[in-house]
Structure 1
Amino acid sequence: MLTIGQLAAYAGVTVRTVRHYHQVGLLPEPERDASGYRRYGPTAVVSLIKIRTLASAGVPLSEISRLLDADEPTFTEGIHRIDSHLRDQIERLETSRRQIARLAAGDALALPAEVTTYLDRLREIGVSERVLKGERDGWTLLAARWPDRVREFIPYKIAQLDDPHVVRLYRILSEVFDGDGDGDDPRLAEAADIMACLAEQANAGRVFHADYEDMPHDLLDALAVESDPRVQRLVELMRERGWSGWNRMEPLA
């Protein structure tokens, strides 16, 4: 007859594990003998080895008790059910691993590949990291709401970067928002002039669909103001030029 320590060593587990199996009802706990010790016989050893094997294979402890008492067909069915559950878990974990791996790329988090390409182009023309963060956060809001339509926007946005006025706008914004100036920075007026010109072109060409809901655009406008209070001054300058909004600029009546 074995002590609890001998039992644990024989089955390749710890004494703490044996006691846990007692607590959850997987392994019966024997009565103490005359000397005050609990002694385990061969049946307990076999049961513990089976429990250890099933637990090591990933079978939940809540399932092990039923499997130990099952006949062969029921046991096989239970194992197949657990295997299916484990496959689902593996697929979820693999998806999580792919998402975690994308974190290293920074821009790739929650963004389609087309958007990360666009952000890379912005870096190439010298856009500051602060402005890039605003772009990244804004595209994250859009991609969450319109994952397919975002891909429609990107070719137009990338084509815009061939326009020297757009490049100039991004560089002005980078200089202004990276600095310590206030809303009176004269470069904001130049930025507003460029934005008004671009708004006229976009409105004439009807670049974006008119049926898009307002909420994402409202969030983008609020995000811009939250990121830097000087954006509010730029919005005011745009209104002076006949345009409302920040992301989806519309002509004022």
Structure 2
Amino acid sequence: MADIPSAILLDRVTLSHGARLLVEKADLALKPGSFTVLAGANGHGKTTLMRALLGLHPAREGRIAVLGRAPRAARQLIGYMPQERRLPAPQLTGRALIAASWHGTRFGLPGWGRGLADDLKAALSLTGAEALAEQPLSQLSGGERQRLFLAEALLDKPALLVLDEPLSGMDLHWQQKILTMLQARCRETGMAVLMSCHGLDIVRPFADHLLQISEHKLELSDAAL
């Protein structure tokens, strides 16, 4: 049987932002089905690392592989939720916004049909956002929008989910529900999760690994420790 490729593989990777060094000669291998929390002070490279995994930020040195492919070649297998999100049109409903991203469809050209309807229903159910999807985005709280944006990242059933501060704005109840759901998806589907989060105490019981960016290094440890 062929070896299953790592969900994320870094081989002697160096990342920088302009002249500023962020990560130097880092090695990393994360398995499919793993739930990893990414931590580090602001400005130390968390978002840059995520963008590199998406093929949006080139490595200065080394090799990055996502699910056995170059990052750009793996884009259709990755669900991504950025930290900051501008609303393209606040009067849009959550349903219309999410539908427009189905299978990478460009905004404004959703491929309506049974397949989209089924996938949309399943994604909204995962984040408890069914009722929210019918309301204009401008009328929702920050935490409610986050649940819709997470449903959007889950829409195409990604093999890797990359989440930049997805819990911001959510109350403790919804943070725990979302973390429970993500852990279950990892176990049940083999989807891998890489998620940045400032409040580590709430995340540790659900995650497998803690990935710390500090002093230009990546350090992987057991999340329970």
Q: TM-score, normalised by structure 1?
A: 0.24
- Structure with the larger strand share: 2
Q: TM-score, normalised by structure 2?
A: 0.27
Highest RCO, 1 vs 2 (Cα 8 Å, sep ≥ 6): 2
